[in-house]
Structure 1
């Protein structure tokens, strides 16, 4: 499975995705490495995310606001298929 970039502060989501076999990368660690991600998961607290839309092109951004880790995983799976 491709990598999923997860925003800092979403530890339960990150752990659940890893348990399901996803390769999870930190959004802050290496922006250039994000070109291979299939989705980006954000907290939803800042939907603009400092202009992240210009950095990650053609990659779905999933807001985890109000979602369980299981819900986030289901949305990630939709974009992988």
Structure 2
């Protein structure tokens, strides 16, 4: 099962992904994202200048404004390609 990193404030998203059988890791620091197939973040700390080093090879999903179910749908669509 894919490993999904989820920002620690998104507990509802974590629970929904765990219910669907995903291996969920809480992202407390940048190094927690290593080895994740996909990460879900709040988007509140987005880099406005677009200059950042990525620590994962997988997708990053911004959960701002999305329900837990919508986030799960995005995770599923990005992992299945």
Classify the secondary structure of the residue corresponding to 1:54. coil
- 1:6-51 per-position Cα deviation (integer Å, ceiling 9, x unaligned): 01110000000100111100112681x5332111100111113xxx
Moved over 4 A (4+): none
- CA positional deviation for 1:5: 0.4
2:77 maps to 78
Counterpart for residue 23 of structure 2: 23
Alpha-carbon shift at residue 55 of structure 1 (Å): 4.3
Q: Which stretch has the larger CA shift, 22-31 or 5-14?
A: 22-31
The gaps in structure 1 that reach 5 residues or longer are none
- Map residues 32-71 of structure 1 onto 2, 5 A cutoff: 34-48=33-47, 53-71=52-70
Q: CA RMSD in A?
A: 1.8
| SS of residue in 2 equivalent to 1:36 | coil
